[in-house]
């Protein structure tokens, strides 16, 4: 839980001239997040439930590959979508792993933060806002976890009023989506928002190809893995927070909802039909660069909780 911070102390940290300068030994951080901690892409199966879409990659595979690289990640948990054990199908398009799996990963170093019930809090009563935010933290504690490092607003639907109270009373930071943004220690203050880059799949990046104009239902442009990789070299006093969702590989041409091409070395030709689908090989490319930067001492792979402790928010 976030330790209560006296207003006078907060003011001195935010307004002090020396607080705006990162000390030489003030490390840079990178947090790897997984939006809604989704296991794999699925489609509705006959008779109910859901079945895995071909050429998809599970979060379990990503966990194992990251473990081999020595990288730990943070999952955003949607509490009512998380079963006690096994996998839960949600809305026919995805599955969520259960608490038993998350507990195992937590013991191995992964961390988890709360996305509540994935509801828009802006138009809820104050009592409902408290229940959706602070009220979910006991669930994490029952599973041996502290989910208070970050509250992940659903679909970037945040407000300063909600963040100030109740979110900042129980959470170190409130997640907002800010494209390719670097958080700077001296720039973070009340009400304690932080910026996370939400990685997008989408149409390809070669103007002469058909996939540049259309790739299934995609309405976004496929994010550059070299640009993401470069941002994992976080400088002193900075924090790059990057969030992935679900992974695909090879090629699949099904419905307009499920189509992609991740083949070939040229990432500019890669495309996916949904913003939340990203080519697994490109994800690994980014993670390998992060591993190199960590090994070289240029950055620290850290959960939001570790950043909060280092920056005086926990």
pLDDT tens, residue by residue, 28-60: 999 999 999 999 999 987 666 799 999 999 999
User: What CATH code is carried by the domain that includes residue 44?
Assistant: 3.20.20.370
DSSP state of 259: E
Domain membership of residue 290 (yes or no) is yes
For residue 1, tell me if it sits in a domain: no
Q: For the chain, how many structural domains are there in total?
A: 1
**pLDDT on residue 1:** 44
- pLDDT at 45 (0 to 100): 76
Is residue 188 domain-resident? yes
State yes or no: pLDDT of 92 exceeds 70: yes
Phi, psi at 34, each rounded to 5° = -125, 115
Report the share of the chain in percent with pLDDT over 70.
91
Quick check: is 3 in a domain? no
Cα–Cα distance for residue pair 216/274, rounded to 1 Å: 8
The pLDDT assigned to 71 comes to 98
- pLDDT tens digits for 195-204? 999 999 999 9
Gap between the Cα atoms of 222 and 275, Å rounded: 8
Q: Is residue 285 part of a domain?
A: yes
Mean of pLDDT over the chain? 92
Least-confidence region, from 10-19, 151-160, 234-243, 287-296: 10-19
**Would you say residue 20 has pLDDT above 90?**
no
Q: How far apart are CA 125 and CA 62, in angstroms?
A: 38
**What's the rounded Cα separation, in Å, for the pair 282 and 273?**
16
The burial class, CB within 10 Å (0-12 / 13-18 / 19+), for 69 is middle
pLDDT of residue 12: 33
Residue 4 confidence class, pLDDT cut points 50, 70, 90: very low
Residue 71 is assigned to a structural domain of this protein: yes
In-domain check, residue 63: yes
What whole-number distance in Å separates Cα of residue 171 and Cα of residue 113? 9
Q: What is the pLDDT of residue 6?
A: 31
Tell me: pLDDT of 24 over 80.
no
The overall pTM is greater than 0.85: yes
Q: Given this model, what pLDDT does residue 314 score?
A: 84
**What is the pLDDT, as a whole number, of residue 28?**
96
The answer to whether position 61 is within a domain reads yes
> Could you give the C-alpha distances from 289 to 26, 74, 114, 233, 283, in angstroms and in order?
21, 18, 28, 8, 10
Domain that holds residue 106: 30-310
> Mean per-residue pLDDT for 278-303?
97
- Per-residue model confidence (pLDDT) at position 16: 32
Distance CA 87, CA 101 (A): 9
């Amino acid at each position: 839980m976030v330790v209560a911070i006296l207003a006078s102390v907060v003011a001195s940290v935010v307004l002090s001239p020396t607080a705006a300068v990162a000390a030489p030994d003030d490390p840079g951080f990178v947090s790897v997040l997984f939006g809604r901690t989704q296991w794999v892409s699925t489609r509705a199966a006959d008779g109910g439930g859901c079945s895995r879409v071909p050429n998809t990659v599970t979060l379990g595979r990503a966990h194992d590959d990251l473990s081999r690289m020595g990288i730990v990640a943070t999952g955003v948990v949607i509490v009512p979508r998380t079963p006690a054990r096994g996998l839960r199908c949600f809305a026919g398009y995805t599955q969520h792993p259960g608490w038993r799996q998350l507990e195992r990963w937590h013991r191995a170093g992964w961390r988890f933060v709360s996305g509540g019930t994935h509801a828009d809090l802006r138009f809820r009563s104050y009592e409902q806002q408290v229940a959706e935010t602070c009220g979910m933290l006991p669930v994490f504690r029952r599973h041996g976890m502290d989910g208070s490092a970050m509250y992940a607003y659903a679909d970037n639907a945040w407000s300063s009023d909600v963040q100030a109270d109740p979110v900042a009373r129980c959470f170190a930071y409130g997640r907002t989506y800010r494209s390719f943004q670097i958080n700077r220690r001296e720039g973070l203050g009340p009400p304690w928002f932080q910026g996370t880059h939400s990685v997008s799949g989408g149409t390809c990046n070669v103007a002469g190809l058909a996939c540049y104009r259309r790739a299934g239902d995609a309405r976004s442009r496929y994010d550059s893995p070299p640009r993401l990789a470069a941002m994992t070299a976080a400088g002193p006093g900075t924090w790059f927070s990057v969030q992935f969702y679900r992974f695909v590989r090879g090629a699949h041409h099904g419905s307009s909802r499920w189509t992609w091409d991740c083949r070939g070395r040229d990432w500019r030709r890669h495309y996916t039909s949904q913003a939340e689908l990203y080519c697994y090989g490109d994800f690994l490319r980014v993670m390998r660069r992060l591993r190199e930067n960590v090994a070289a001492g240029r950055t620290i792979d850290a959960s939001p909780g570790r950043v909060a402790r280092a920056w005086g928010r926990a």
